[in-house]
Amino acid sequence: MNDSIITEIRGIRGQHAASMGYDLDRIYADLKARQEKHTREGWVIVPAPSCSPPEHDVASQRTRFSRR
């Protein structure tokens, strides 16, 4: 599947990583600094979910989708 938005985002992310020398510590520090700057400017930052998604109940799915 070729999605133009995903392709564009991956390209931007690749350029950003290249500009930071592919150093994860520098990338993280830059993203945190941008987030703090945007927060000061009044942007709303949506927090990550506080809990993990529920586990799938594989046994019930097997029963549900089995041939009858």
Is pLDDT above 80 for 63? no
pTM beyond cutoff 0.85:
no
pLDDT at 55: 73
Q: Work out the angle at residue 42's Cα, subtended by the Cα atoms of residues 28 and 33, and round it to the nearest 5 degrees.
A: 15
Residue 68 has pLDDT above 80, yes or no: no
**Please, what is the average pLDDT of the chain?**
86
Distance CA 17, CA 37 (A): 19
Residue 51: band (very low, low, confident or very high) from pLDDT cuts 50, 70, 90? confident
Q: What is the mean pLDDT of residues 28-53?
A: 91
Cα(44)–Cα(31) distance, rounded to whole angstroms? 15
